[in-house]
Amino acid sequence: MTMRVYVSRDAGAVAVGADEVALVLGLAASKHGLDIEIVRTGSRGLYWLEPMVEVATPQGRIAFGPVTEFNANSVLDAMISGSPHPLRLGVADEIPWLKRQTRLTFARCGVIDPRALADYRAHGGYKGLERALTLGSDGILADVTASGLRGRGGAGFPTGIKWKTVAQASADRKFIVCNADEGDSGTFADRMIMEGDPFVVIEGMTIASIAVGASKGYIYIRSEYPHAVEAMNAAIAAAKRGGTLGARIGGSNHSFDLEVRVGAGAYVCGEETSLLESLEGRRGIVRAKPPLPAHKGLFGKPTVINNVLSFAAIPFILAGGAKAYADYGMGRSRGTMPIQLAGNIRHGGLFETAFGVTLGELVDDVGGGTFTGRPVRAVQVGGPLGAYFPASMLDLPMDYEAFAAKKGIVGHGGIVVFDDTVDLARQARWAFEFCAIESCGKCTPCRIGSTRGAEVLDRISRVARTSDRETTMGLLRDLCDTMTYGSLCALGGLTPLPVLSALRHFPEDFGLSRSDVAWTG
């Protein structure tokens, strides 16, 4: 009987030697005359255990990790004999880190062969599309709206409303655009799902195309993601061969074609209008809104533009029904969020769970605290434009409104952890520097304000103990107000968020007292 072994081909696993492990396993197996099939999957998201290798057994898949090219031979022996091994993790699905998740979007990631359409189907794939084809536009829009899904790219805008706007727009052509620029620090969920379950993204986009009447779609992927580009291209070709993409999908009257486009690596190209400029072949500069992309988007046509995770949530919603998704979550944050744990954390990786989980549960219980073993001092949630929260605020639940009430953002669900050696004054300065480097330059508050901001912060640390302090603080306040209310897009508009949160919660790092920063709220 063929022995089936699973090794991740995810870029994160490959970076720590998954290809070499697969090679050694293959060579060792042929030396033993063993009939072996090595299936290259995506990652399950337990990155500290990569390369994680699994073997199919009657009890389920048994996992080992982290495996290296040097111990792969002994792991193979343990797989054959079933004898104990120090790297044996037990049945993969029973690993507590995986078991306590609610994997609706990432259910297949790390499980299936991302190149095999048949494997996708065998694990429930394309059930959503089948139902969507019978429902038609109105039914799909009703389901997506009722699911409560909000865009996972950062702004949390209701997906149902966006799709409805495009559906109601009349035009000779409409487009579906998938935003896979994933520029936020500490985030990797888009990459992971594109590499580990690309068909779910294609299925979600195809359902969107039926909902709004679009015939063409683009996936805009950052150039730093070559593995994802390859995976998406291979899946698009397979879907076309399988009749689930292209002309007359699944024998219906609906046709939808999809192409990958690779960005050149600018953070601002993740901003939707800038992305559209880039897709059209121009420099990535933000467009003034209105018109919204839903009315006048790609090539001036009504366009749905959504994050990878927003599209990837759609097949579950259509297959299982809106309620099955909406039953998870809290308040107006429905469903699950693929949380990405990064930075100084012991167990970093992807953890999909319902909204409502607290930061403390994620950082301490799930993540196991810091990698260095020192106390957690701060976490930044939502990428480079997200707020820094102190350890005393880790009871904050993951929820768009709860975060907004504490002057923070959930963003794309990335959590970056810092221990007690972090200098928040440096982090705050970096926020301005980042904005200065990445600014598209279209509006003054961001283009000039970001550089002036870094200068003012330098001055604050110099004058912290002098009479000049109040004047300088006033200057910073005015500058932050100008950027917040005067910037054309959220790059300039949100940069004050990390700066002000650092001042508010960690004034001592700036040589200031709590009363000095009372104005930050």
Ligand X SMILES: Cc1cc2nc3c(=O)[nH]c(=O)nc-3n(C[C@H](O)[C@H](O)[C@H](O)COP(=O)(O)O)c2cc1C
Give the contacts of 466 (CB within 8 A, at least 6 positions apart). none
Q: Please identify which residue in the block is written with the tokens 């063993």.
A: 34
492 binds, among ligand X, ligand SF4, none (CB under 5 to 8 A by kind): ligand SF4
How far CA 494 is from CA of 434, 435, 498, in Å, comes to 12, 10, 8
Give residues 410-449 in contact with ligand SF4 (rule: CB under 6 A): 439-443, 446-447
Interface residue with ligand X among 490, 497, 502, 517 (CB under 6 A) is 490
Q: Report the residue number, 201 or 231, with the smaller CB distance to ligand X.
A: 201
Q: Is 182 in the site for ligand X (CB under 6 A)?
A: yes
Residue 115, both tokens: 């190149």
Q: Is 151 in the site for ligand X (CB under 6 A)?
A: yes
Host H or E run for residue 306: strand 303-307
Interface residue with ligand X among 41, 105, 244, 307 (CB under 6 A) is 307
Q: Min. distance of Cβ 333 from ligand SF4 in angstroms? A: 26
For residue 292, give the DSSP letter: P
Alpha-carbon distance of 263 to 480, in angstroms, equals: 30
DSSP-assigned letters across all residues of 318-370:
HHH-HHHHHTSEETTEESEEEEEEEES-SS-EEEEEETT-BHHIIIIIIT-S-
Q: Report the residue number, 283 or 332, with the smaller CB distance to ligand SF4.
A: 283
Interface residue with ligand SF4 among 205, 268, 354, 409 (CB under 6 A) is 268
Binding mask 155-174 for ligand X (x = CB under 6 A): x-x-----------------
Q: Is 181 in the site for ligand X (CB under 6 A)?
A: yes
Q: Is 277 in the site for ligand X (CB under 6 A)?
A: no
Q: Binding residues for ligand SF4, how many (CB under 6 A)? A: 14
Q: Report the residue number, 225 or 506, with the smaller CB distance to ligand X.
A: 225
Q: Is 268 in the site for ligand X (CB under 6 A)?
A: yes
For residue 291, give the DSSP letter: S
495 binds, among ligand SF4, ligand X, none (CB under 5 to 8 A by kind): none
DSSP-assigned letters across all residues of 478-508:
HHHHHHHHH-SSHHHHHTHHHHHHHHHH-GG
Helix (H, G, I), strand (E, B) or coil at 26: helix
Q: How buried is 467 (Cβ within 10 angstroms: 0-12 exposed, 13-18 middle, 19+ buried)? A: exposed
Contact criterion met (CB below 8 Å) for 106 and 193: yes
Q: Give me the amino acid identity at 406.
A: K
Q: Min. distance of Cβ 298 from ligand SF4 in angstroms? A: 19
306 binds, among ligand X, ligand SF4, none (CB under 5 to 8 A by kind): ligand X
Q: Report the residue number, 17 or 154, with the smaller CB distance to ligand X.
A: 154
157 binds, among ligand SF4, ligand X, none (CB under 5 to 8 A by kind): ligand X
439 binds, among ligand X, ligand SF4, none (CB under 5 to 8 A by kind): ligand SF4
Q: Report the residue number, 418 or 434, with the smaller CB distance to ligand SF4.
A: 434
Select the span of 96-104, 343-351, 420-428, 486-494 touching ligand SF4 (CB under 6 A). 486-494
DSSP-assigned letters across all residues of 161-187:
HHHHHHHHS--S--EEEEEE---STT-
How far CA 118 is from CA of 8, 122, 244, 360, in Å, comes to 18, 6, 12, 40
Q: For binding to ligand X (CB under 6 A), which residues are involved?
A: 151-155, 157, 179, 181-183, 267-268, 270-272, 305-307, 310, 489-491
Q: For binding to ligand SF4 (CB under 6 A), which residues are involved?
A: 268, 286, 439-443, 446-447, 487-489, 491-492
